[in-house]
Amino acid sequence: MIIRFLIGLLVIVLLLGLSLVMIPVDSLLKRVTDSSGISYSLAEGNLFKGRINDLSYVDTVPINLGDFNYEGSPTITGLKVSFNTDDNSTKGVIKRNLFNGNLHVKDFITEAPYKTNGLGIIEVQINIEQMTIKNGICHQIEGKLSLSNDSYKETVSGNVRCLEGNVYEVKLLDSKNNDMGLMIYRPGFIDLEIETAILKSDVSIFLGNRMGFTIPL
């Protein structure tokens, strides 16, 4: 989810950081795609501005990013890249420090549907105010995640915490700050537990007070 998208964008930031200002990004990508796990259908532009279509990256699991536009600019310590999808459903800013390799993410917003066996489609919205990644691992994060579903009485949300090994945890609350569940992201899947009290229909007699799902990514 969060880290899947950011890892893929990190690949692009690294490539742009290695490129000269006016070298076409397509030429650079072609040099590394065979051995890096990167694939795409179209790449055009250079360091300052461009577009990449059908971008994907394979690490432990395939990361499909789709199409996005980017604008890059040098900073005192490295490189800043702003990015967005055509519909602005995903956008943000990533800064890479070329001295220590750290990544700093700001104003990252994304939303995506996820299919579950029990509740159909769950809409996930993520708003990360800032995040620091050191050596590929989340070091610090400030942001919120929200979940909505047609069967929910209301949207539930919570603060995102990064744990060891690129594991993320969100304690879900309703508008009155009642505990409504827990979401844990691990590379490759999401574990989601929801209090049945949030559902419009009373199903606690059948499912108990809490129901759980594992969502493969």
Does 63 share its domain with 151? no
Between 18-27, 132-141, 142-151, the lowest mean confidence (pLDDT) is in: 18-27
Q: Given a cut of 80, is residue 69 above it in pLDDT?
A: yes
Q: Does residue 31 lie within any of the structural domains? A: yes
Q: What is the pLDDT of residues 18-44, one digit of tens each?
A: 444 555 666 655 655 555 566 778 778
∠ Cα 164 130 162 (to 5°): 15
Q: Which of 22, 56, 73 is the last residue of a domain?
A: 73
Q: Given a cut of 50, is residue 99 above it in pLDDT?
A: yes
8 A C-beta contact, residue 122 and residue 113 = yes
Q: In the structure, what pLDDT confidence band is assigned to residue 146 with cuts at 50, 70 and 90?
A: very high
Please state, in angstroms and rounded to a whole number, the distance separating the CA atoms of residues 192 and 212: 6
8 A C-beta contact, residue 183 and residue 170 = yes
Q: Does residue 51 lie within any of the structural domains? A: yes
Does 61 share its domain with 146? no
Does 114 share its domain with 69? no
Please state, in angstroms and rounded to a whole number, the distance separating the CA atoms of residues 154 and 23: 49
Number of structural domains in the chain:
2
Q: What is the pLDDT of residues 156-202, one digit of tens each?
A: 999 999 998 778 999 999 999 999 999 998 877 889 998 888 887 77
Q: Given a cut of 70, is residue 141 above it in pLDDT?
A: yes
Q: Is the dihedral of CA 217, 37, 104, 80 positive or negative?
A: negative
Q: Does residue 168 lie within any of the structural domains? A: yes
The residue range of the domain holding 141 is 110-216
Does 192 share its domain with 141? yes
Does 117 share its domain with 51? no
Does 135 share its domain with 63? no
The pLDDT, as a whole number, for residue 176 is 94
